[in-house]
Amino acid sequence: MPRVVLGVCGGIAAYKSVELLRLLTEAGHDVTVVPTENALRFVGSATFEALSGKPVSTSVWDGVDRVAHIDIGASADLIVIAPATADFLARASHGMASDLLSNTLLSATAPVLIAPAMHTQMWEHPATAHNVALLRSRGNFVLEPDSGRLTGKDSGVGRLPSPFSIFDAATALLSGTVGLLSGRHVVVTAGGTQESWDAVRFLGNRSSGKQGIAIARAALAAGAQVTLITGSVQEAVPAGVNHVKAPSAAQMLDAVRESMTQQPDALIMTAAVADFRPIDVQEGKIKKDSKSHEIPTLNLQQTTDILATMCSERGSASLPVVIGFGAETVQSDEELMALGVTKLKAKGCDMLVVNNVAHGAIFGEDYSEVIFMDANSRQKHSGTKDHIAQALVARLGSILEGLH
């Protein structure tokens, strides 16, 4: 279980650290929260203690018997400071040790991730720019703040990145995928398609888009440019992606083909594309006939297999890597792998990720079990969909590296 220290400084954005703490603990990390005294003016220690399951202190005089001001940082696998104020950046860059958090930072041997938050004028001040550059030169990972609404009526650069963005960066540091996809362009499809029957009805599926969006976020955190093509999704689309909506199978095929004109390095097809669509689509709503009770006939035709099509067209599109997903309903891993081998050969992709969705499993859940399959290997992965996404990005990085 990775040990993470979450440092929280005294800015109004401190309330967002609560959501970040929840994400870290739900991912299975052992989190110790180390706030500054001013941070506790915004979020009480009881909140941090309840969510982390550990006592919270701001003083170097607590835990003296175990030398806490050294032990906390020295035993951590990752230090995250969010939010980091201008004052803390100044103290950290000059090696000051005036409270428990700054002592913890000085004793850390693990990677350090810093997420600044402050007013635009403070962020753009030459002193802050110098402090950030100094921290980065020492190997600290300092995120760029977002632009948007700040305290009061102010807007501009200086907003704390979203908890999901910070969590993704933290996960990338823990998994070793930071910078793995720098300079790469990755296209990801996510969610289920909806095939219209009439003006209000459609054929769809249970896909929530969680896995595809998690992969997009992981690729972003690994430094990639990401184009995310979505059907119907229940998750928020991450900031920083080029988002294209494609509700139907035909629209998704068009969107994927259009994305190929940008010559991406990889296509990851997680979308649950409908295999069938109605032949006849009514312009208005199909009405019930209360007298005859006649049931309308639904005639179907097959949709285009986007994964197989893109694999067959990849030569003209100069697409190096294609990764597909396959959801099956089976009784065993052996049966799942057998179907996966057949599908891998039939589709022509470089790698196939298969999972068992029997009895409604996986769809819409945070947890998943998958098998990575290629021509030479089979690897089973289980855990949160964020964990699966990180594993997939690491695998993609290895594949792309092997092409050069």
pLDDT string in tens for the chain (404-residue length): 899 999 999 999 999 999 999 999 999 999 999 999 999 999 999 999 999 999 998 877 777 666 667 888 889 999 999 999 999 999 999 999 999 999 999 999 999 999 999 999 999 999 999 999 999 999 999 999 988 888 777 788 999 999 999 999 999 999 889 999 999 999 999 999 999 999 999 998 888 999 999 999 999 999 999 999 999 998 889 888 999 999 999 999 999 999 999 999 999 999 999 999 999 998 889 888 777 678 888 999 999 999 999 999 887 556 789 999 998 888 888 899 999 999 999 999 999 999 988 877 778 788 899 999 998 889 999 988 999 999 999 999 999 988 76
Report the distance separating Cα 169 and Cα 82, nearest Å. 12
Q: What is the CATH number of domain 185-402?
A: 3.40.50.10300
Q: Which two tokens stand for residue 324?
A: 């597909």
pLDDT of residue 217: 94
Return the domain boundaries, the chain. Answer: 3-175, 185-402
Amino acid at the residue 346: A
Identical topology for domains 3-175 and 185-402: yes
Residue 72's pLDDT is what?
Answer: 87
Phi-psi region of 152 (alpha: psi -120 to 50; beta: other; left: phi over 0): left
Cα gap 4→6, rounded to integer Å: 6
pLDDT of residue 134: 95
Which 3 state secondary structure label does DSSP give 267?
A: strand
Q: What's the half-sphere exposure (Cβ side, CA atoms, 13 Å) at 136?
A: 11
- The Cα–Cα gap between 393 and 320 comes to 15
Class for domain 3-175, per CATH?
Answer: alpha beta
Q: Count Cβ neighbours within 10 Å for each residue of 139-160 and write b for 16 or more, e otherwise.
A: ebbbbebbeeebeeeeeebbbb
Q: Which of 131, 140, 205, 356 is catalytic?
A: 205
Tell me the pTM. Answer: 0.84
Q: Does the annotation mark 242 as catalytic?
A: no
Handedness of CA 89, 80, 17, 36 (dihedral sign): negative
Query: How many degrees, rounded to 5, is the angle at CA 1 between CA 50 and CA 221?
Result: 90
